């Protein structure tokens, strides 16, 4: 673990951000759009960015004996740490629903999205969108937060709405598979989500690094 990531975890972050990882438990909620749990995890990261902005954390970090791009890297690494912690908990709870709870009546009768690998792929996509839209947008100015977070909210809930509705479209019923049924479709959707997450995060990090280099703090 590098020094800037430790600084983010111990100095710049809020306790609230770590507590919001617990929203991953929403994966177990029947009759509820479970992808909202992913959104709340990113909301926790946003709160740390907002607190750090008010404390002039970016200026402080830039005055440290590090490259400006390392400041960007530290913020991305912290966001990834929270996202992957949340995703790990979501994945564990999803596997519980796909195995021990696969025949539970509250889930079999649920008209909303089921917890499966398609759900995990969508979760990764939303995390990637947060990194690209909010964090990447933040480093255009290293100060403004609201506009980019609002854009992210709109896009994230559009994705949630589409994902929730997808299995009601004729021919796409297999996206809502229970247990380990239709694994070809499930694994393809999870792989697509992972690729989208990696691409969105990597491309936005590179652009954020270039943008931050141009900013005169």
pLDDT in tens, 187-215: 999 999 999 999 999 999 999 999 999 88
Nearest to 90 by CA among 164, 28, 136, 151: 28
pLDDT in tens, 71-109: 999 999 999 999 999 999 999 999 999 999 988 999 988
> What is the Cα–Cα distance from 154 to 158, expressed in whole angstroms?
6
pLDDT in tens, 15-59: 999 999 999 999 999 989 999 999 999 999 999 999 999 999 998
Determine the pLDDT at residue 153: 98
**Rounded (10°) CA dihedral 115, 88, 155, 18:** 130
Nearest to 52 by CA among 142, 146, 133: 142
Give 66's pLDDT tier (boundaries 50, 70, 90). confident
Nearest to 49 by CA among 10, 14, 3: 14
- Residue 100, token pair as written in the block: 């021990």
- pTM, rounded to two decimals: 0.96
């Amino acid at each position: 673990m590098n020094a800037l990531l430790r600084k983010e975890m111990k100095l710049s972050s809020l306790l609230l951000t770590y507590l919001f990882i617990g929203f991953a438990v929403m994966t177990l909620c029947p009759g509820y759009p479970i992808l909202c749990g992913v959104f709340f995890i990113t909301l926790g990261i946003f709160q740390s960015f907002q607190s750090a902005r008010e404390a002039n954390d970016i200026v402080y970090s830039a005055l440290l004996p590090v490259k400006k791009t390392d400041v960007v890297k530290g913020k991305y690494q912290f966001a990834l740490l929270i996202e992957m912690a949340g995703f790990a908990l979501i994945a564990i709870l999803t596997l519980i629903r796909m195995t021990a709870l696969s025949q539970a009546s509250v889930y079999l009768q649920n008209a909303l999205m089921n917890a499966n690998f398609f759900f995990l792929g969508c979760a990764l996509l939303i995390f990637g969108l947060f990194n690209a839209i909010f964090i990447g947008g933040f480093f255009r100015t290293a100060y403004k937060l609201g506009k980019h977070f609002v854009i992210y909210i709109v896009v994230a809930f559009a994705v949630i709405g589409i994902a929730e509705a997808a299995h009601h479209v004729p021919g796409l019923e297999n996206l809502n598979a229970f247990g380990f049924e239709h694994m070809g479709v499930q694994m393809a959707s999870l792989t697509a989500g992972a690729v989208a997450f990696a691409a969105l995060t990597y491309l936005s990090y590179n652009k954020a690094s270039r943008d931050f280099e141009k900013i005169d703090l």
